[in-house]
Amino acid sequence: MDLELRDKVAVVTGASRGIGLAVTRALVEEGVRVIAGSRTSTRELEELPGVRVVRVDLSAETGPADLVTAALEHGSLDILVNNVGAVTPRLGGFLEVTDDQWTRSLTLNLMAAVRATRAALPAMIEAGRGAIVTVSSVNAFLPDPLVIDYGVAKAALTNFSKALSKEVGAHGIRVNTVSPGPVTTDLWLGDQGMAATVGAAKDADPAEVAEGVATQSETGRFTHPQEVADLVVFLASDRAGNVTGADHVIDGGLTKTV
């Protein structure tokens, strides 16, 4: 299937590793010029052709707008992928989560997308077209005290995207979310990831922690970043031209309800 994305311009937030890197690679393979934002870069990202890497702290107030401004120097902006996010397990329970920790979670997981979207929309409205795809999480609707602030931020992110889709649909702009379950990235499997942190607290092997989570899915495994990327890129394309205001779950059947 030709996604007809050749020569489009996209911004991807949190692009150096994990899902953001996979999305960037998938867009590049479709002929998209990508402006990729993260604090650091990686060899994998630098090696991709047609990618401009912008080193930016997306939790800083002006970071998301700075990234979008860099993209607009190329003329137009067709696609915004709000991917950046991070989670810290709250092993001590709700009472130990400080205001500062809540603020940091809400800033990176919600406000980075709000700010990037605010910066991108005027150009999209002027062009009369655009696609915004935001990476939320199953934790938006599967509340878990272990990730209480992250889940709240993701719930707000999904709600934000749905509301915005109603406002900008008439301008030819589509707004969708993708909600993955556990994905094989550093967020879950890295040295500081969920499996390692929870494993250290429970005196358990991180691989066993991850395996326990994987078996909660009907497929018995984590999702791969490439699989999330394929869904994001489809939603960014005109092939999904009448899909907006929708949340797309990719979790191997982890979610048990309809």
Tell which one of 29, 30, 66, 186 touches ligand NAP (CB under 6 A): 186
Backbone φ and ψ for 115, nearest 5 degrees, come out as -70, -40
Type of residue found at 251? D
Using rule CB under 6 A, residue 185 touches ligand NAP: yes
Using rule CB under 6 A, residue 187 touches ligand NAP: yes
Are 86 and 108 in contact, with CB atoms under 8 Å apart? yes
CA dist 153 and 77 (Å) reads 26
CA dist 108 and 81 (Å) reads 14
Span near ligand NAP by CB under 6 A; candidates 25-33, 77-85, 95-103, 198-206: 77-85
Shortest Å distance, C-beta 56 to ligand NAP: 6
Are 131 and 244 in contact, with CB atoms under 8 Å apart? no
DSSP state of 187: H
CA dist 113 and 150 (Å) reads 14
Backbone φ and ψ for 39, nearest 5 degrees, come out as -70, -35
Span near ligand NAP by CB under 6 A; candidates 11-19, 71-79, 114-122, 205-213: 11-19
Tell me, yes or no, if 61 is annotated catalytic: no
Shortest Å distance, C-beta 38 to ligand NAP: 4
Using rule CB under 6 A, residue 188 touches ligand NAP: yes
Shortest Å distance, C-beta 227 to ligand NAP: 12
CA dist 31 and 234 (Å) reads 14
Count of residues touching ligand NAP (by CB under 6 A):
28
Binding site for ligand NAP (CB under 6 A): 14-20, 38-40, 56-59, 83-86, 108, 135, 137, 180, 182-183, 185-188
Q: Which residues are catalytic?
A: 150
